[in-house]
Amino acid sequence: MKTKKLIFSMTILMLTCVIEASAQTVWLDELNLSNATQGNGVPMKNKSLDGKPMRIAGKTFSRGFGTHAESMLTILLNGKAKTFTANVGLDDEVNGHNPEVEFVINGDGKTLWKSGLMHQGDTARPCKVSVENIKKLELMVTEGTDGNYYDHADWADAKFETTGVTSLETYNPISNVPYILTPAAPATPRINGARVFGVRPGSPFLFTIAATGDRPMTFSAKNMPKGLKLDSHTGIITGKLNKKGTYVIRLCAKNNKGTAEKDLRVICGDHIALTPPMGWNSWNCFAGEVSADKVKRAADAMIKSGLINHGWTYINIDDFWQNHRDSKDKNLQGEFRDKDGKIVVNARFVDMKPLADYVHNLGLKIGLYSSPGPWTCGGCAGSFGHEKQDAESYAKWGFDYLKYDWCSYGEVSDGDSQKDPNKVPSFSMKGGNELETAMKPYRLMGEYLRQQPRDIVYSLCQYGMSDVWKWGGSLNGNCWRTTHDITDTWKSVENIALAQDKAAPYAKPGNWNDPDMLVIGTVGWGNPHQSKLKPDEQYLHVSLWSLFASPLLIGCDMEKLDAFTLNLLTNDEVIAINQDPLGKEAACVQTIGKMRVYVKQLEDGSCAVGFCNFGIDEANLSYKDFSKLGISGVQNVRDLWRQKNITKVNTATGALSIKVPAHGVLLYKFTKAK
């Protein structure tokens, strides 16, 4: 009996020794970190984002993963790890800024640990998480409540204790292979773009007929109201309407292959931007490096690429056309205002009027950027105290669009004139959540813009504070950002997409929710690179922004448009969803696992439906919930990206087979069969 007990105890002891001997440490930095997606820069091994030794609140760490929010790294543990430990925090290299992030660990879809919000200067927070039996582990850094500015985040000392395995795999299942869906436009003429156009009485009129098809092409129009004239070679309509009213113009485009006709409804009244503005903005590619030359080249590329033939119109200059408060760049140094208080344009732009003329002569429109505070977000001169003069300057130069960015306004919103504007930070959200404070500067500029003798689309940029969608329109606003800045990562696009539902019911013609600019093509905020979004993620991004009826502003270098990006920007049936005159924004009507179904009502009684897969596995199902889409009877189903009728479905008895790639989309239009 005794011997038996001894043998049993020895066996247990040996087994324990074997198990302990096989337990193994695997450091996070030993894994393939290139599968991580992050808001800025590239994943860093044992270094901070800027390539320095990792330091959190004065303490240096020799091992770990340096990243930038929104950051996501998936690791396939398959039950082979027992614990994950790390010390997390914001890196000291962003000292002086005040970023905020949260570190989050998910295992098999459940949250296992959260750091809580962390700020620059916080000591590293230790985390020890049991990951036993977990198959897929996600290490995430979210942007906190303040956008992803300066979010240099460190997973320091990060390691796994495994069940014995000596390596672990990271994972990014989304395909990298681009594929083109948009069919080439036919050689015969086709008139694309907005079907309705708003203008105020007495304002200069500029509308370019967007038409694809072989050139040369001649344009003509029937029922052209008095005061407007059409250039038959370019298709550009100019002039002025003096009387309020609705004018239906029959547009015609003709080439040696055929003729196309289409009605354009011109509504001369109080409202402009009756469909979401479409164009380009300098920020996501050039950021602080923008110049008049780059703007002209972007305008030229809008013509050369043929994008103008699909309705793309605005060429918008973002921050950095003014002088800067402390830049080392000589071109940005100089007085902020002249002796009369008028805003001074920096040396890269010199004179705005000829630039605006240049853009208008191409049949395009031009936009500008400022802040109601003393400084823009980038630290250039803002409009504070000079709102009237600035609105007048923009109009005199010939601008058609203003993006007005909150930035430093919160710091002066208490009207403290004693405050030294030089000490005001360029970016602060102070005051933005008090409704009256939030509205005040936008009301002021809105009134001055309305007093100008031209139509200036007014874009409010204050990241959705105080539910701007509820009141932006009452201050003459035409569109308003609903969230913080976008970056070219899946997490950023996903978070922004998922945050739109509450604002959606407020969208209408002339009043658009703006989930920020497109992050496709060569983007990079002065550090050019191909968008880090995978092809399916880009299809989802453009489809959703179309369903959201959001302003479509291309953020990439227009001289580097590749075939895939052009395919995303030239699908007239997808664009038509965005530009539909009814002006409804899609809402999510159903969630099936990780798939969200969005429905946008269209003017002709049909509806656009986006089957959007936010999950990392293909969605494959037989869809029957047609009542959720608000449709009945027999419906024709058209695939808008492929521009193909795919089937007819009886919504009472039938089913639709739906196969959506991971992070991808099916964008369909349902029209009642006659």
Active site residues: 405, 485
Strands in 196-199's sheet, in edge-to-edge order, are 196-199, 258-268, 245-255, 218-222
Among the listed residues 71, 115, 346, 376, the single contact to ligand GLA using CB under 6 A: 376
CA distances to 205, 240, 399 from 265, in Å: 14, 15, 24
Among the listed residues 485, 537, 557, 585, the single contact to ligand GLA using CB under 6 A: 485
Binding mask 270-309 for ligand GLA (x = CB under 6 A): -------------x--------------------------
Q: Per rule CB under 6 A, is residue 377 in the interface with ligand GLA?
A: yes
CB 1 within 8 A of CB 496: no
Give the binding range for ligand GLA (CB under 6 A) out of 32-40, 166-174, 354-362, 376-384. 376-384
Give the binding range for ligand GLA (CB under 6 A) out of 111-119, 370-378, 471-479, 524-532. 370-378
As given in the structure block, the two tokens for residue 455 are 């139509």
Specify the amino acid at residue 121.
G
Closest separation in Å from C-beta 290 to ligand GLA: 10
Report the candidate in 628, 648, 626, 652 with the shortest Cα–Cα distance to residue 638: 648
Q: Per rule CB under 6 A, is residue 375 in the interface with ligand GLA?
A: no
Among the listed residues 191, 461, 542, 586, the single contact to ligand GLA using CB under 6 A: 461
Nearer Cβ to ligand GLA (461/479): 461
CB 136 within 8 A of CB 76: yes
Give the binding range for ligand GLA (CB under 6 A) out of 12-20, 211-219, 373-381, 663-671. 373-381
Give the binding range for ligand GLA (CB under 6 A) out of 335-343, 371-379, 557-565, 593-601. 371-379
- Count of positions on this chain that bind ligand GLA (CB under 6 A): 9
Nearer Cβ to ligand GLA (390/405): 405
As given in the structure block, the two tokens for residue 510 are 């002339």
Closest separation in Å from C-beta 429 to ligand GLA: 11
Q: Work out the number of other CB atoms within 10 angstroms of the CB of residue 347.
A: 15
Nearer Cβ to ligand GLA (146/319): 319
Closest separation in Å from C-beta 319 to ligand GLA: 4
Identify whether 411 is preceded by a cis peptide bond (ω within 30 of 0): no
In this chain, which residue has its C-beta nearest to ligand GLA? 377
Closest separation in Å from C-beta 461 to ligand GLA: 5
Specify the amino acid at residue 281.
N
As given in the structure block, the two tokens for residue 307 are 């994008």
Nearer Cβ to ligand GLA (91/485): 485
Q: How far apart are the C-alpha atoms of 329 and 350, rounded to whole Å?
A: 15
Q: How far apart are the C-alpha atoms of 178 and 303, rounded to whole Å?
A: 25
Report the candidate in 458, 448, 429, 426 with the shortest Cα–Cα distance to residue 319: 426
Nearer Cβ to ligand GLA (283/598): 283
Closest separation in Å from C-beta 37 to ligand GLA: 21
Q: Per rule CB under 6 A, is residue 93 in the interface with ligand GLA?
A: no
Q: Per rule CB under 6 A, is residue 378 in the interface with ligand GLA?
A: yes
Q: Per rule CB under 6 A, is residue 405 in the interface with ligand GLA?
A: yes
Q: Per rule CB under 6 A, is residue 318 in the interface with ligand GLA?
A: yes
Pairing between β-strand 401-405 and β-strand 365-370 as defined by DSSP bridges: parallel
CB 624 within 8 A of CB 600: no
Report the candidate in 363, 275, 311 with the shortest Cα–Cα distance to residue 192: 311
Residues 6+ apart with CB under 8 A from 354: none
Nearer Cβ to ligand GLA (318/572): 318
Q: How far apart are the C-alpha atoms of 130 and 650, rounded to whole Å?
A: 50
Report the candidate in 411, 409, 539, 516 with the shortest Cα–Cα distance to residue 463: 516
Nearer Cβ to ligand GLA (92/318): 318
Residues that bind ligand GLA (CB under 6 A): 283, 318-319, 376-378, 405, 461, 485
